Amino acid sequence: MSKNRPLIGVTPWYDYDQELTYIKPGYLEGINKSGGLGILLPMTIDENIIENIMDRCEGFLISGGPDVDPKYYNEVNLPFNSSISPLRDKLELFIIKKAIKMNKPILGICRGIQIMNVAIGGTLYQDIESQITDRVVIKHSQEAPKWHPTHKINIQEGSIIHDIFKSLSIDVNSFHHQAIKDIAPGFRVSSTSDDGIIESIEYNDHKFAVGIQCHPELMWEKNPLFLNLFYRFVNSCL
């Protein structure tokens, strides 16, 4: 393996009470296992610092986490909206918009897919069960081990996700109460669950800009199939 691993920035979680920056397991490990050099980014909204980060990193992973502030898609906070992280919102919106313009690879996971969509002009369901009333929705916030798949997704042939997983259907885990509603311009849907919830998106005419709703970082140790997503992402950063 080459010693020159691509430097990939991972967006952090942040505890406002303790002023603590951290990341949950699986993200950095998946990048490093796949030949990248994952680093945890600082929690900052200083645009000069973020610009330096953009110049130095070859790619970006937008991690899971709390809800996106609905003001960024022109809605008010409804009662079922959960916790938000204003610092993360600003950091990630800046990175996503810049990465799309710079054609730098970007992978969004769970919250990551949602804020990628919002950054480019899309909207979200603030709560799937409360706002989708025209059909029965499956359970999207599982009560099972984090690595255990609980529902399937249906993959569009010819998509990047299809090329990665080599299948029109795979089983995934699920930990979310929000989801993409209106897809942003420039993105296309590459997979959905049986109830029609968008499970992955990709940006047209871009080196690699993919968002996925499940948590592959929690699955790849038990199921190496999901490491293929990290390999593809890391290789796009070379």
For 214, 220, 232, the CA distances from 149, given in Å and listed in that order, are: 9, 11, 21
Residue range(s) defining the domain that contains residue 169: 7-236
Catalytic residue among 140, 202, 217, 237: 217
Rounded-to-integer distance, Cα 27 and Cα 3, Å: 20
Catalytic residue among 151, 176, 215, 237: 215
How large a percentage of the chain has pLDDT more than 70?
99
pLDDT at 3: 74
Length of the chain, in residues? 238
The number of folded domains in the chain is 1
Assess whether pLDDT exceeds 70 at residue 1: no
Tell me, yes or no, whether 82 lies in a domain.
Answer: yes
**Mean pLDDT, the chain, as a whole number?**
97
Chain-centroid distance of CA 172 in Å reads 14
> Could you read off the pLDDT of 182-211 as tens digits, one per residue?
999 999 999 999 999 999 999 999 999 999
Assess whether pLDDT exceeds 70 at residue 2: no
> What number is the average pLDDT over the span 122-140?
97
Tell me, yes or no, whether 1 lies in a domain.
Answer: no
pLDDT at 10: 98
> Could you read off the pLDDT of 95-110 as tens digits, one per residue?
999 999 999 999 999 9
pLDDT at 143: 97
Tell me, yes or no, whether 66 lies in a domain.
Answer: yes
Rounded-to-integer distance, Cα 145 and Cα 142, Å: 8
Residue 206 bears catalytic tag: no
Rounded-to-integer distance, Cα 195 and Cα 19, Å: 39
3-state helix vs strand vs coil in the chain, percent to 5:
30, 25, 45
> What number is the average pLDDT over the span 103-130?
98
Residue 215 bears catalytic tag: yes
DSSP label at residue 19? T
State the alpha helices, DSSP H only, in the chain.
Answer: 27-33, 47-56, 86-102, 111-119, 128-131, 160-165, 227-236
pLDDT at 29: 98
Catalytic residue among 57, 92, 110, 151: 110
Rounded-to-integer distance, Cα 164 and Cα 84, Å: 32
Tell me, yes or no, whether 158 lies in a domain.
Answer: yes
- Rama region for 123: left / alpha / beta (φ>0; ψ in -120 to 50; rest): beta
Assess whether pLDDT exceeds 80 at residue 63: yes
Rounded-to-integer distance, Cα 17 and Cα 23, Å: 16
Tell me, yes or no, whether 209 lies in a domain.
Answer: yes
CATH code at position 51? 3.40.50.880
Residue 19 bears catalytic tag: no
For 3, 25, 120, 148, the CA distances from 63, given in Å and listed in that order, are: 25, 11, 17, 19
What residue has token string 């796009």? 236
Angle between helices 86-102 and 47-56 (to 10 degrees): 40
- Rama region for 121: left / alpha / beta (φ>0; ψ in -120 to 50; rest): left
Angle between helices 111-119 and 86-102 (to 10 degrees): 70
